[in-house]
Amino acid sequence: MTQTFNVGSRSLFVTVTAWVFIALAAAASVSALVQNASVVSFMPEWRAKELPLLTGLLLGYLPWVVGAGFAMSVATLACAIGLLLRIEWARRAFIGLLVLAIVANLAGLWLQHEVVQSVVDNTLSHVQLPQAAAGVFGGFVTATRVMALAMTLSACAMLGWIIRRLMSATVRQEFA
C-alpha cells in the first residue's frame, strides 16, 4: 500500500484565508452572474442613447469587464478550495490571482479618478450653485477620493501581506 506523508502541519492562517476567500469568491460569483444578466438585458437600451465619449467607451467594454470579473471570481473560488486542500498549484495560482487583484485595484484608482472627475464636471456645468455650496460639494468629493484611496491602498497592503505569508517557508512546507 502507498503511504502518504504530510511534511508540515496545517496552519490556521491557510485554513482561515481559504475559508474567507471561498465565501468572498462564492458571493462574488453570484453577484457577477447577476451583473452579467443585467448588462445583457440593458445593453440595447444603453446603445440607443447618445452618451459622452468616456461613458460610451466604458459601456462598450462593460460586458467584457463583467465577464472577466465572473471568470476571476470562479478562478478564485477554485484556487481557494485548492488552498484549503493544500494543493501546491492552487497556492501558486492563488498568489497570482492576488497579484492580479492588486494591479486591478491600483488601475481602478485611475479609472475612479477619471469617472468621478467627469461626473463632477458634467454636474457642475449644468447646475448653478452658490459659492458656499460649491465649496461643500468640493469638500465631499475630496473626502470621497481620499477615503477611496485609503481603502484601496489598505486592501492592496493586506493582499500583499497574504501573498508574503503564502510564500513563507512554513506555509510552503504545508504544501510539500
pLDDT recorded at residue 75: 96
Quick one: what percent of the chain has pLDDT higher than 70?
81
Is 9's pLDDT higher than 90?
no
41: pLDDT strictly greater than 90: no
CB 117 within 8 A of CB 163: no
Q: Which residue has the higher pLDDT, 7 or 97?
A: 97
Over pLDDT 90: what percentage of the chain? 46
For residues 25 and 78, what is the distance between their CA atoms, to the nearest angstrom? Answer: 9
pLDDT of residue 48: 60
Full-model pTM: 0.78
Residues 173 and 176: their CA atoms lie apart, in Å, by 5
